[in-house]
Amino acid sequence: MSAHDHSHAPNRYAVLSTAERFGDAPELTGRGVTIAFLDSGFQPHPDLTRPADRILAYHDVHEPSSVLDAARPPRADDWHGTQTCVVAAGSGFLSDGVYRGLASEASLVLVRVARDGKISEDAIASGLEWVIENRERHGIRVVSMSLGGDLDRPLAESRVNQLAERAVADGLVLVAAAGNSGCGERHRCLPPATAPSVIAVGGYDDRNDPERRQIGLYCSSFGETADGLVKPELIAPAMWVAAPILPGTPQYVRAESLARLAATPDNRLAGALAAARDRLGASLAPEMADPEAVRRWIDGSLRNERLVSAHYQQVDGTSFAAPVAASVAALMLEANPQLSPLGVKRILLQTARPVGELPPLRQGYGVLDARAAIASARIEKHADRSATGTRLASGRIEFRFHNDIATSVTVAGSFDGWRPGGTPMRREDSGEWSLSIPAPSPGSYRYKFVVDGTRWLSDPSHARREPDPYGGFDSVLEVP
């Protein structure tokens, strides 16, 4: 029990915490890493300000002089941003620590981009510009974006995606929600998720099963972008996620009142219900004298309103998958501050676990594996120095692949008939492997890296890829 007169513990409709899904690593909490959130709006929720206020800065692109004021009544568009940053980095203060984010001690920068509940591409671009300009001042390393623009355009025509690429080049890890239109005809992602260097995160449904025995797809946006890239890169929890109810709202008062009633003894239950009708909403709280009937009504209210504890509710969408991935990126950078954005992305993709029965186009490299990603980050000895990756230059293909612990890496591809064993690459002191071959005749060519003779991997530095016949991806290179 807390200092309140109700329990903060999860109720019978509780959902798995992020720590339960990915494994708790108490020695890593995002300490020393700053995450910026671009979202509709924010409130200084207790999970962000207690036991310590970790909000370094707040910026409203439409009203730059405004401040984050806990005394201001919440607005409708404050919900989304508050929930996404608490999912990634909340302390769990109002759940006795149960629903804390993985990056529970990260520093936070909150960038509001909505006006009257709407988010424009110009506002997203302004938010990215502000983050780039203030990255050094606030030590920003990760940017989480649970939003989307209006239309997928080629990089040369998209200001949002151009700024996203600039941000990554300036040292920021960018993570974006893929979107939630995967079950409709218009199922493709939108900027900034379509930018080549951005990590686009789709969603999965684990049925709230701690063993994750059966993973299904959420309706995440997916498919080729205007530049011919396949998105998303990976998938993370998009259902059965706990997020805070915004303090100061009628929903918060109602959820708290239901928690009080649930803890009330039977002999006082009818009277407690009558006394709480104004807080619950008189039209929504029936008059009952039978304790069993009151219990059934409380139970139904908790279930139907998706309340998982006194101050948290169940939410879904790739808006919540993306901040989970961003929090893992923060832990990777805490474990190994020298990692570059390319290094973080490479490790996340290489450690993701593909689900065999799910279409590759919809799951990308597979399910986010926080433990494996953090473990790989810990042992990484070198930063990824190559900003270009595999490329065409002066009539040759320059292959580059980073792997510190491999003993051999070869390139196999359609340009040489997928020659058994592939062509050996040369290891450099930086942990990179390189190979230069004459460019073949014009056309489209598929290739993979073969690590230690057994692991066939697509190129994490090359965003153009297509499904292979084995449930994975081939990287695709166009030779003009």
Strand 107-112 versus strand 140-145 pairing type: unpaired
Residue of 314, 323, 312 lying closest to 147 (CA atoms) = 323
Q: How far apart are CA 276 and CA 258, in angstroms?
A: 9
Checking phi first, is residue 55 left (phi over 0); if not, alpha (psi -120 to 50) or beta? beta
Residue of 187, 191, 157 lying closest to 174 (CA atoms) = 191
CA 455 to chain CA centroid, Å, is 27
- Residue by residue, DSSP assigns 40-53 as S-----HHHHSSS-
| The token pair that represents 370 in the structure block | 């926080």
* Residue that has been written with the tokens 């995606």 in this structure: 161
Amino acid found at 24: D
Q: How far apart are CA 287 and CA 427, in angstroms?
A: 75
Q: Are 106 and 89 in contact (CB under 8 A)?
A: yes
**275-299: per-residue pLDDT in tens?**
999 999 988 899 998 999 999 999 9
Q: How far apart are CA 328 and CA 400, in angstroms?
A: 25
**What is the structure's pLDDT at 385?**
54
Q: Are 368 and 236 in contact (CB under 8 A)?
A: yes
Q: How far apart are CA 387 and CA 400, in angstroms?
A: 10
Which of the residues in the chain have pLDDT under 50?
1-3
Q: Where in the chain is the domain with CATH 2.60.40.10?
A: 391-459+469-474
pTM beyond 0.85, yes or no: yes
**What is the structure's pLDDT at 120?**
97
Indicate the DSSP class of residue 184. Answer: S
| Distances 447 to 87, 282, 348, 392, 462 between C-alpha atoms, Å | 38, 65, 20, 14, 11
Q: How far apart are CA 182 and CA 454, in angstroms?
A: 34
- Fold entry, domain 18-243+315-379: Rossmann fold (3.40.50)
**What is the structure's pLDDT at 166?**
98
Q: How far apart are CA 468 and CA 463, in angstroms?
A: 15
**What is the structure's pLDDT at 1?**
33
User: Considering the domain 391-459+469-474, what is its CATH architecture?
Assistant: Sandwich (2.60)
